[in-house]
C-alpha cells in the first residue's frame, strides 16, 4: 500500500499529470525485486533534496522492506553526493594529472553494504544518474552488468530515478 506517496501524488497539479501517473506505476511495473525498487526509490528521493518526497517515500518503504534496505539506500545517496561531485569534476576538467591523484575519500560502505552489493550498485546508479555524473553512471552500470543484472533491471532503476526527480521538481515548482 502506498498511502503517503498516493497522498503526495494526489496533490500534484494538472500540468504534472504525466508525472502523477508515472509515480503510481513506476514502483509496481518493474523487473526489480521489492527491495531493489524501494531502495532505488529511497535513494532517489534523498538525492532529489525534497523533504516531502523523502518523507512520503520513507513512510511507504517502511511497510515493504527491512531497515537494512533503507540504511543502504541512505548510505548510497550520501556517498554518491560526495563521489558524483568529485568524479564529475575529474571528467569535466579532463586533465590526466587529476586522474593520477588518489581521491583519499572514504567510501568503505560501497564494499560492505548491509543488503547486497548488487542492490547497493543499483541505488548508486540511480543517484549518479540524478546527479549527472557520467563517470559514475558508467562505472555502476558496468559493475551491474558484471553481476548479471539485466538491462531491463538497469532501465527500471533509471525509470524510478527519473520519475522521482520529476516529482521533486513538481513539489519545488509549487504552482
Helix (H) / strand (E) containing 108:
none
Contact yes or no for 168/5 (Cβ under 8 A): no
Query: Is position 48 annotated as part of the catalytic site?
Result: no
Q: Exactly one of 110, 122, 136, 168 is catalytic; which is it?
A: 136
Among the listed residues 119, 162, 172, 140, the one whose alpha carbon sits nearest the alpha carbon of residue 25 = 162
Q: Exactly one of 56, 133, 144, 158 is catalytic; which is it?
A: 133
> Any residues with CB less than 8 A from the CB of 49 and at least 6 apart, and which?
168
Helix (H) / strand (E) containing 53:
helix 51-61
Alpha-carbon distance 119 to 4, whole Å?
24
DSSP state for residue 14 in the 8-state scheme: G
User: Active-site positions?
Assistant: 133, 136
Amino acid at each position: 500500500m502506498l498511502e503517503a506517496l498516493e497522498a503526495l501524488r494526489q496533490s500534484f497539479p494538472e500540468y504534472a499529470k504525466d508525472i502523477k501517473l508515472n509515480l503510481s506505476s513506476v514502483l509496481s511495473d518493474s523487473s526489480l525485486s521489492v527491495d531493489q525498487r524501494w531502495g532505488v526509490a529511497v535513494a532517489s528521493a534523498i538525492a532529489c533534496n525534497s523533504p516531502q518526497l523523502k518523507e512520503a517515500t520513507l513512510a511507504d518503504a517502511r511497510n515493504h522492506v527491512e531497515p537494512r534496505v533503507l540504511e543502504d539506500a541512505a548510505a548510497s545517496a550520501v556517498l554518491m553526493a560526495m563521489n558524483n561531485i568529485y568524479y564529475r569534476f575529474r571528467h569535466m576538467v579532463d586533465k590526466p594529472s587529476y586522474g593520477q591523484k588518489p581521491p583519499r575519500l572514504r567510501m568503505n560502505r560501497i564494499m560492505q553494504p548491509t543488503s547486497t552489493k548488487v542492490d547497493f550498485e543499483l541505488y548508486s546508479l540511480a543517484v549518479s544518474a540524478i546527479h549527472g555524473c557520467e563517470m559514475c553512471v558508467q562505472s555502476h552500470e558496468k559493475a551491474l552488468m558484471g553481476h548479471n543484472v539485466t538491462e531491463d533491471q538497469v532501465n527500471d532503476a533509471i525509470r524510478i530515478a527519473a520519475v522521482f526527480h520529476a516529482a521533486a521538481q513538481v513539489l519545488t515548482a509549487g504552482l
